[in-house]
């Protein structure tokens, strides 16, 4: 029976509760669908700006933008750079609803955050997914940032009030807009259903990729205006300098 070896290998993986690597199909020796070789080759973010996590060529505390015109969030925490194959995985997760890729990257973020908290990183009081424009959510049928947020909330036991941060009006795509136009486009686009819930809280915004940071900065301004003590961003990956457009 020609199918037998394949079936046997599937049963083996099932019995061991392991899955083949999503990138190369080799057996993964761990509980995540990623083999050691593919994990080692991922574009891990090493030198980075300590505020916005922009990839840096060497160890410097802050990038030029954060030195001269810092964003309103205090810190971005992310394990990966937005380059191959992470860019492809995020694109398939985001536009083709391929949740296993999103789940894999979310699991890497969970592991990274577990390590960060173990090393003394401050756990937030609340995590909030960046809301998608309503028209885009209707077309797509889901908000990828909320899916990541749900994963973090469950795995790390972080509170995620889903209806607190709202998108209140339609906006055009941020793609191709300059910095001022991006800010104008998002002006008054977000609101809080119960603003008193953020007072004195350490809040984290969750998104798939941080590009220019304009959206997160605008939401941070809203949260800080209502008394949030601190705002940070968790995301799957961070773009480098050439990526100046919002995805
Ligand atoms: Zn692999
Ligand atoms: Zn920076």
Q: Distance from the CA of 169 to the center of ligand 2, in angstroms?
A: 29
**Buried-state track 207-235, b at ≥16 Cβ within 10 A, e below 16:** bbbbbbbbbbbbbbbbbbeeebebbbbbb
The DSSP 8-state label assigned to residue 198 in this structure reads G
Q: Please indicate, yes or no, whether residues 26 and 82 belong to a single structural domain of this protein.
A: no
Q: Please indicate, yes or no, whether residues 36 and 56 belong to a single structural domain of this protein.
A: no
The ligand that comes nearest to the alpha carbon of residue 238 is 2
Percent of the chain residues topping a pLDDT of 70 = 90
Q: Please indicate, yes or no, whether residues 170 and 208 belong to a single structural domain of this protein.
A: yes
Q: What's 161's domain CATH number?
A: 3.40.50.2020
Residue-level pLDDT at 12: 47
Q: Please indicate, yes or no, whether residues 111 and 124 belong to a single structural domain of this protein.
A: yes
Q: Distance from the CA of 175 to the center of ligand 1, in angstroms?
A: 33
Q: Distance from the CA of 110 to the center of ligand 1, in angstroms?
A: 20
Of 76-90, 162-176, 195-209, 223-237, minimum mean pLDDT range: 162-176
What is the residue-averaged pLDDT of the chain?
A: 87
Residue-level pLDDT at 17: 55
Q: Distance from the CA of 88 to the center of ligand 1, in angstroms?
A: 15
Q: Distance from the CA of 225 to the center of ligand 2, in angstroms?
A: 22
Q: Collapse the DSSP code of 244 into the 3-class scheme (helix H, G, I; strand E, B; otherwise coil) and give the result.
A: coil
CA-only gyration radius of the chain, Å:
19
Q: Is residue 243 part of a domain?
A: no
What residues have a C-beta under 5 A from ligand 2, the ion?
49, 51-52, 54, 63, 66
- Tally Cβ neighbours within 10 Å of residue 171: 20
The ligand that comes nearest to the alpha carbon of residue 25 is 1
For the segment 164-173, what is each residue's pLDDT rounded down to a tens digit? 999 987 776 7
Q: Distance from the CA of 182 to the center of ligand 2, in angstroms?
A: 18
Of 21-30, 37-46, 110-119, 133-142, minimum mean pLDDT range: 133-142
The ligand that comes nearest to the alpha carbon of residue 38 is 1
End-to-end CA distance of the chain: 48
For the segment 88-106, what is each residue's pLDDT rounded down to a tens digit? 999 999 888 888 999 999 9
Report how far residue 25's alpha carbon sits from residue 56's, in angstroms, rounded to the nearest whole number. Answer: 32
The mean pLDDT value for 204-209 works out to 97
The mean pLDDT value for 144-171 works out to 93
Q: Is residue 244 part of a domain?
A: no
Which pair of tokens denotes residue 136? 């885009």
pLDDT at residue 243 is higher than 60: no
Confidence category of residue 4, pLDDT binned at 50, 70, 90: very low
Q: Please indicate, yes or no, whether residues 66 and 151 belong to a single structural domain of this protein.
A: yes
Residue-level pLDDT at 81: 97
Confidence category of residue 16, pLDDT binned at 50, 70, 90: low
Q: Distance from the CA of 35 to the center of ligand 1, in angstroms?
A: 4
Q: Answer for the pair 236, 80: CB distance below 8 angstroms, yes or no.
A: yes
Which pair of tokens denotes residue 100? 């296993």
Q: Is residue 164 part of a domain?
A: yes
Residue-level pLDDT at 58: 81
The mean pLDDT value for 136-154 works out to 91
Residue-level pLDDT at 134: 80
Q: pTM of whole model > 0.85?
A: yes
Strand 190-192, strand 230-238: pairing: unpaired
**Residue 129 backbone dihedrals phi, psi, to 5 degrees:** -75, 140
The ligand that comes nearest to the alpha carbon of residue 210 is 2
Q: Please indicate, yes or no, whether residues 8 and 115 belong to a single structural domain of this protein.
A: no
Structural domain for 22, as ranges: 1-41
**Number of alpha carbons in the 13 Å side-chain half-sphere of residue 60:** 13
Report how far residue 171's alpha carbon sits from residue 134's, in angstroms, rounded to the nearest whole number. Answer: 9
Q: Please indicate, yes or no, whether residues 152 and 192 belong to a single structural domain of this protein.
A: yes
Handedness of CA 235, 238, 239, 241 (dihedral sign): positive
Residue-level pLDDT at 29: 74
pLDDT at residue 177 is higher than 90: no
Q: Distance from the CA of 128 to the center of ligand 2, in angstroms?
A: 22
Residue-level pLDDT at 19: 81
């Amino acid at each position: 029976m020609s199918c037998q070896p394949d079936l046997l290998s599937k049963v083996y993986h099932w019995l061991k509760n392991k899955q083949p690597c999503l990138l190369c199909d080799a057996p993964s020796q761990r509980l995540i669908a990623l083999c050691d070789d593919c994990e080692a080759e991922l574009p891990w973010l090493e030198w980075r700006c300590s505020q916005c996590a922009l990839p840096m060529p060497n160890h410097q505390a802050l990038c030029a933008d954060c030195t001269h015109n810092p964003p309103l969030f205090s810190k971005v925490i992310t394990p990966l750079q937005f380059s191959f194959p992470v860019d492809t995985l995020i694109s398939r997760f985001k536009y083709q609803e391929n949740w296993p890729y999103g789940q894999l990257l979310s699991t890497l973020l969970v592991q990274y955050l577990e390590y960060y908290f173990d090393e003394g990183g401050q756990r937030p009081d609340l995590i909030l997914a960046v809301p998608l424009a309503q028209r885009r959510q209707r077309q797509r049928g889901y908000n990828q940032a909320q899916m990541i947020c749900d994963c973090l909330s469950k795995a790390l036991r972080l509170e995620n009030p889903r209806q607190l941060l709202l998108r209140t009006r339609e906006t055009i795509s941020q793609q191709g807009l300059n910095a001022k136009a991006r800010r104008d486009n998002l002006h008054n686009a977000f609101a809080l259903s119960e603003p008193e819930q953020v007072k004195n809280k350490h809040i984290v915004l969750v998104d798939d990729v941080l590009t220019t940071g304009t959206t997160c900065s605008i939401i941070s301004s809203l949260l800080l205006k209502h008394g949030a003590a601190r705002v940070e961003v968790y995301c799957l990956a961070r773009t480098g300098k050439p990526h100046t457009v919002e995805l």
